[in-house]
Amino acid sequence: MISAESWPQSAIRLWTFTQRFQKFLAVGIIGLAVNQAGLVVLHDIAELAVRASSPVAIFASMIVTFFLNEVWTWHDRGTGRIIHRAMSYVPINVGGLIINWVILTWLHDSFGMHYLIANLFGAGVAAIWNFLLNNAITWRA
């Protein structure tokens, strides 16, 4: 059996990066469920416009995903006080919120795509942004 300790450093870094991204995706599925449920509650039940519902639903999912990423995805990284990581996480994810919101509203308003489907596209693009920046900045090695 070959152990990871015998691998080249670049292979170990790639393996670790891949494993972390898989955890991030699992957390993201939970965040997406919070986001989608928030959209349904705010748009279908509270009858708010999609443009107003989306940022609130995304922000709720940001809170959930921050804590899950803190305790699982990047549990081994990030030193110092949690508030410092939160202060990096929020601006990065606000960028993701904007990306998600722009794509969602563009697909929904311009093409008549159902808002929950359009949100999947926006969330997918935002997830790439969020992972790359949070991995490099919020929970840097």
Q: Express each pLDDT in 44-58 by its tens digit.
A: 999 999 999 999 999
* Nearest Cα to Cα of residue 72 among 12, 114, 19: 19
Tell me the pLDDT of the chain (141 aa) as tens digits: 567 778 898 988 899 889 988 999 999 999 999 999 999 999 999 999 999 999 999 999 999 999 999 999 988 887 788 999 999 999 999 999 999 999 999 999 999 999 999 999 999 999 999 999 998 999 886
Question: What pLDDT was estimated at residue 141?
Answer: 65
Question: What pLDDT was estimated at residue 140?
Answer: 84
What Å distances lie between residue 81 and 38, 109, 139, CA to CA? 30, 42, 12
pTM as predicted: 0.87
